Amino acid sequence: MHASCSASGLLRPAAEDTKTTSQEIINGSRHGDEKAMDKKIQIVAIVGAIAFSVMVLSSPSDPIPLPEPATISEITSASPVSVVATELDKPRAMAVHGDRVFVTEKEGAVRVIENGTLLERPLAVLRAADAFDGGLLGIDVDPNFDDNGYLYVLLTYEEEANTTTNGDDDAVHRSPPVALWNKVLRITESGNRLADAATILDRIPGSKFTNGGFVKFGPDDKLYIGTGTPSDASHLPQDPESLAGKILRINGDGSVPEDNPFDGSPVYSIGHRNPQGMAWDAAGRMYVAEHGPDKNDEINVVVPGGNYGWPQSECSGDDNGNTRAAILCYDPSIEPGGIAFYDSDRLGLEYGFVMASLRASNLYQIDFEEGLPSQQSILSGVGRVRDVAVHPDGSIYIITSNTDGKGFPDEDDDRLIHIRR
Ligand SMILES: [Ca+2]
């Protein structure tokens, strides 16, 4: 499936001037017209989703520790699962802090849910590229957010093309009129409003379909960014000089940490195709979930300087350790979204690793030692699950992704759902 990926060989040249941050902040209106190409992709994706649903429904299901709502209307106030916000528009990622949840919407808005209420006015609306799987993507809060109000987001943006390219030689001969790039913005929040915004990392090659997407602070208080390959034909993920197809590691002000594996470079690991989620276990090991081209989705343990193989290999590594094998490999694809580690007793989960799945429409828990046979559903019946976050109180938040052009949205989609038992 993933017809989107095979169509993504388009590459974009780049202009030298960068837009200022203030020009990127626009007022709320959105334009929702999908291009004809996107419609074809949607149809292919929907046919694929139906085929996959049939397959999932016909396979034996594992016991689940929480009630599985047949429809969202069966979720009541007495339920351990509650819908906190509805009608989110193509939500991509969230960050939970205290009594607030910050949610990015693909077309550029940062939404705020405070004390269980979705605020009508977005915290910010950024000028995002009109790209099928790009736009306003990841979000995280600064480790010292209470003092500095810093929020970090990853944004796909477009600019007029000219004769230079973003470094992929294949792109020169088939340049579209618009170049796509990604950048990391640091937003200063005050009273749920944008007080300031600054670009702290720019010129990450972008694409219509594989921009990666998360930004996350690690236990070392460094900011990690998962970036995608510009196209499945591109070899930039293997080029340590390029910011494409990488895990990047920077300080909160955008500078490069002195202990990064490639001297003076934000590059932390190479050979990634389309990273979608990141989390650290209690021992401080870093895990990354990423999408394969049409199968072979991966969960990787990422080490500094590691090579995760794309585009030479999928899931497997080589014997001499030059490329590293995934610890979990999904064939067929389940499209992992956000991942998290869970160490509370509150929900009675069996395993510590929690993963959102878009295509398989589930929130899963998995044990790494037992591998895929251990995988159990925590929650299903809400459609595609995009991201997951664990609150310090042991409850879990998820956002759905049924309005993303690949799902079957209900009237209320998309939703922020709270699992609190
Ligand atoms: Ca790999």
**Cα 151 to ligand 1 centroid, rounded to whole Å:** 30
**Cα 210 to ligand 1 centroid, rounded to whole Å:** 15
**Cα 392 to ligand 1 centroid, rounded to whole Å:** 31
**Cα 260 to ligand 1 centroid, rounded to whole Å:** 21
**Cα 223 to ligand 1 centroid, rounded to whole Å:** 22
Residue 336 Cα distances to 4, 158, 192, angstroms: 16, 26, 30
**Cα 315 to ligand 1 centroid, rounded to whole Å:** 5
**Cα 89 to ligand 1 centroid, rounded to whole Å:** 31
**Cα 104 to ligand 1 centroid, rounded to whole Å:** 27
**Cα 272 to ligand 1 centroid, rounded to whole Å:** 6
Residue 144 Cα distances to 58, 197, 251, 324, 392, angstroms: 48, 17, 13, 34, 16
pLDDT of 78 reads: 53
**Cα 298 to ligand 1 centroid, rounded to whole Å:** 7
**Cα 29 to ligand 1 centroid, rounded to whole Å:** 39
**Cα 310 to ligand 1 centroid, rounded to whole Å:** 6
Distance, CA of 109 to CA of 192 (rounded, Å): 13
pLDDT of 166 reads: 60
Q: What is the 3-state secondary structure (H, E, C) of the chain?
A: CCHHHHCCCCCCECCCCCCCHHHHECCCCCCCCCCHHHHHHHHHHHHHHHHHHHHHHHCCCCCCCCCCCCCHHHCCCCCCEEEEECCCCCEEEEEEECCEEEEEECCCEEEEEECCEECCCCCEEECCCCCCCCCEEEEEECCCHHHHCEEEEEEEEEEECCCCECCCHHHHHHCCCEEEEEEEEEEEEECCEEEEEEEEEEEEECCCCCCCCCEEECCCCCEEEECCCCCCCCCHHHCCCCCCCEEEEECCCCCCCCCCCCCCCCEEEECCCCEEEEEECCCCCEEEEECCCCCCEEEEEECCCCECCCCCCCCCCCCCCCCCCCCEEECCCCCEEEEEECCCCCCCCCCCEEEEECCCCEEEEECCCCCHHHCEEEEECCCCEEEEEECCCCCEEEEECCCCCCCCCCCCCCCEEEECC
pLDDT of 69 reads: 42
CATH architecture assignment, domain 3-419: 6 Propeller (2.120)
Domain regions of the chain by residue span: 3-419
**Cα 239 to ligand 1 centroid, rounded to whole Å:** 15
Mean pLDDT per 10-residue run, the chain (421 residues)? 32 34 38 41 45 38 42 53 96 98 98 97 97 97 98 94 58 65 98 98 97 97 98 97 98 98 98 98 97 97 98 92 95 97 95 97 96 95 97 97 95 96 80
pLDDT of 52 reads: 43
**Cα 319 to ligand 1 centroid, rounded to whole Å:** 14
**Cα 160 to ligand 1 centroid, rounded to whole Å:** 33
